[in-house]
Structure formats: C-alpha cells, structure tokens
Amino acid sequence: MDAHATAGPRLARRSSAAFVPAGTPPASILPVVKPLPAKLRRLVRAFACLALAAHAPAAERKLQRFDGREYLPLDAVAATFGFPKPAPLGRTSAATSTLTPVIGAAHAAEFGSTTVARLTATAATIALENGPLRLEVTPGLSEASINGVRQWLAFPVRLEDGRAFVSQLDVTKILEPRLRPERIAGLAPVRTVVLDPGHGGHDRGAISRFGFEKDFALDIALRLRPLLEKAGYKVVLTRMDDTFVPLEERPAIANRIPDSIFVSIHCNSSSTGAEARGFEIFSIAPRGVAPTNDASPSDRDLLDQPGHIAEIASGALAGSIYHALLGQVPMVDRGLKHARFAVLRRCERPAVLVECGFVSNPTEGSLISAGPWRERIAAAVAAGVQGYATLAAEKIRPPTLTDYRAATRRSESAASATP
Ligand SMILES: [Zn+2]
C-alpha cells in the first residue's frame, strides 16, 4: 500500500453529471442532476435495467428520510431482491460487537485521517436467504455480508421503531450490482488485462523483515501474466521490473486500451500493530459514497472523478476477484471496500486494487514471502478476472465464495479417491 495513496495533482471539479441508474429517485446526498453529456447519457441508458427498475414505484413509495438521507425499509429491500420478508425485530439494543477497521498509515495520509469510525452494532444480525443469494445486515453497522463475503456500505443500517432501514444509496449502488451482477448492462468485453504491480524503484512500498512490497507485487503480477495469456487475454504490465512508474501513468495505460481492465496489486501493512491480517480489495467509491476508511462523509464524495464512468463495472470486477481470492486462498475477509486512490479515480476502465495480505503480520508476511503462496494468489486473481470477463460477455454471475469452496472440496475428494 502506502504510496499508491499519494495523489498527483488534485483533480479539477468537472461538470456535475451524476451517475444515477434510471428508475432511481434522487438520493439526498446527490446534487441536482444537470443534463448529462452524451457519453454519460449512453451509459445511464445502458444501466437502465439496474437498480430497482422493476420495483421502483413500490420502493419509492416506501422511502423514508432520516437525518436528511433516504432509506428503504429492509422488507422493501427483501421484496426487491426476492428474499422472504424478514422477521420483525425485537427492540434489542444492546451492543453485540464493535469493529475497528485497520487502515494503513499512508492510505490514511492522503485523506488526512488515521482512524476510522468505530462501529457499534445495535441489534442482532438479520439474515435474508433466497436460494443462492444471501444477504446479512446488522443495524448500527456500515457493512453487510453478501453471499458470504464482507461488503462495506456507505452508511450504517438503521434501526427505527423496531424496523431495519438501508440507505437508498447503498441499495442502488452497492446491493443491487453485488446481488444481481448479471443484470448490469453495457459491460465492455475484456480483451486486455493491465496488471499494475504497486510501487517500484525507490518506492519500496511496505517494508518488512520478509522483504519489500514492491518485489512481492511484481512477482505476483509476473505469475499472473502467463495464466491470463493462457486463458486468451492480452496482458500489459505497468512495470516489468524494479522501476518507478508515477501513479498517474499507471491508469493512463489502461485508458489508452479499449476493452481493458486494470488490476493493481499490493500487499498491505499496518502501522498500528502486527495483528492486522487478511485480504481486502478496493474499487472506486461511487459518486456520493465516502471511501470506506474515511471517518465520515464529506463534500469530496460528490466530486466527479474519471473513474466514476466505470464505478459499477469496477465494483463487479472487485466482487469477482474477491470471491475467487477468499474461495481459493484461506485468509481473513476484510471486505470489499471503496477508495479514491489515484490509480482508481483516474482509471476510466473497470479498475480494482487488491491487497494480498499483510507483510506486517508475521504469519502472512512469511506466507507472502513464499513463491508457492504467491502463485496461489495469482491463480485466484486470474480466476476472478475470468469470472468478470464471463459476466461481461455472457451475463453469467461470477462464481461466489460458496462455489469456489464447493469446487475445492470436490477436487480434494477426487484427489483422495485416486489410488
Ligand atoms: Zn501498496
């Protein structure tokens, strides 16, 4: 991590074309929408099937405002996605858990905060299940579990008069594309994968007794390349060796290549202690959504960034890669997160930043320093890329954590049955 957070020049405010899926009533956090430029009009049309379209009239009627923000009752959310109606909540208000997400020192530096909000659950987790789909939310927490994977939300789930409410922004920009990625329209095919090994040259990234992040990131990218080429993709690396590449040049490479996606590879490190561990993955914070590691929403959340043109696609790419990672490599699930790192906000193609574990954690640092472990990570990221490419080409939902674990069990039992 570290230096990928440091930005180039601050982006100028562009015209305020808001990306609002058709059929979505304006969320309070979004400014008044001006007429969209032609390019965006096409995109918005392409996403017309997204977000409550079929249920919009009913869902809109149920919108309620709390603290100037619009929310949907969880039972309306359940109906939208075909979940059974959630059981009524008792007035259980005792805190059941607290979470303090860890943020790397340099990531924090860009956004001027070294801590993030301490989140306290106010009621028990509510689980909704419908065949292959599972959604869990906990009033008081800005996170959900979607198909077994942690997903950070823009705003905490609220508990009002014994009913749970989810912010409308979370429903349209996060739950909808995560729960029904196959309904995302207009995804460009994937022909080229731009791999971006973080750091390089004088920028060593995280430093540990196991080695430098820049070297691990490059090695994972070099292992990924043949896997992706074998699967039929063209692969471009932003750096092939231990050289420094300025942050702004990295996404610019993908921006010049049509039908490309951008995968930035990093290893994590924590300035607050050696215990932080696990995978996490970032895509651009959708317009109106604060970066996950920010303590509170700010005006910057409303700035229009080049990366917003692909915000839904980037989230889908992140989901596909993250399920594959957790499904194929046993690590702690820190979640699907949102950020405005320079490489994400400047990339106009679907873009993600993968954090492949903590070199500052003795166990994970030791694993990451081993070639076979990095090969496993590379194979999992390749599977996630494939899942996204199939989604884009054929509108087939990428495999979930459950799918990957079932496949692992099948191959293990097949292997143990072989004499
Ligand atoms: Zn890094």
Structure confidence at residue 22 (pLDDT): 35
> How many degrees, rounded to 5, is the angle at CA 357 between CA 329 and CA 98?
100
Structure confidence at residue 385 (pLDDT): 98
pLDDT band at 29 (very low <50, low <70, confident <90, very high): very low
Residues with CB in 5 Å of ion ligand 1: 1, 4, 198, 205, 266
pLDDT band at 272 (very low <50, low <70, confident <90, very high): confident
119/122 Cα distance (integer angstroms): 9
192 closest CA partner among 161, 157, 238, 147: 238
pLDDT band at 149 (very low <50, low <70, confident <90, very high): very high
pLDDT per position as a tens digit, 294-350: 888 899 999 999 999 999 999 999 999 999 999 999 999 999 999 999 999 999 999
Distance from Cα 390 to the centre of ligand 1, integer Å = 28
pLDDT band at 40 (very low <50, low <70, confident <90, very high): low
pLDDT per position as a tens digit, 199-238: 999 999 999 999 999 999 999 999 999 999 999 999 999 9
Distance of CA 180 to the CA centre of its chain: 15
Distance from Cα 94 to the centre of ligand 1, integer Å = 38
407/402 Cα distance (integer angstroms): 9
Distance from Cα 95 to the centre of ligand 1, integer Å = 35
- CATH class entry, domain 192-411: alpha beta
Q: Are strands 207-208 and 211-212 parallel, antiparallel or unpaired?
A: antiparallel
Distance from Cα 76 to the centre of ligand 1, integer Å = 40
What is the percent of the chain where pLDDT is above 70? 77
Distance from Cα 143 to the centre of ligand 1, integer Å = 24
38 or 296, greater pLDDT: 296
Distance from Cα 106 to the centre of ligand 1, integer Å = 9
3-state DSSP helix/strand/coil % of the chain, to nearest 5: 35, 20, 45
Distance from Cα 355 to the centre of ligand 1, integer Å = 8
Distance from Cα 264 to the centre of ligand 1, integer Å = 9
Asked whether the CA dihedral 247, 354, 347, 135 is positive or negative, the reply is negative
Distance from Cα 203 to the centre of ligand 1, integer Å = 9
Per-domain boundaries in the chain: 17-183, 192-411
**116: exposed, middle or buried (C-beta count within 10 Å: 0-12, 13-18, 19+)?**
buried
The CATH code belonging to domain 17-183 is: 3.30.457.10
Structure confidence at residue 59 (pLDDT): 66
pLDDT per position as a tens digit, 12-21: 333 322 333 3
Q: What strands lie across the sheet with 158-160, from one edge to the other?
A: 64-66, 69-73, 163-167, 158-160
Distance from Cα 268 to the centre of ligand 1, integer Å = 6
Q: Are strands 149-152 and 143-146 parallel, antiparallel or unpaired?
A: antiparallel
Distance from Cα 84 to the centre of ligand 1, integer Å = 42
Structure confidence at residue 162 (pLDDT): 86
267/106 Cα distance (integer angstroms): 13
Instruction: Indicate if the pLDDT at residue 61 is higher than 90.
Output: no
Mean pLDDT computed over every residue of the chain: 83
Cβ-contact 152, 335 below 8 angstroms: yes
Structure confidence at residue 123 (pLDDT): 64
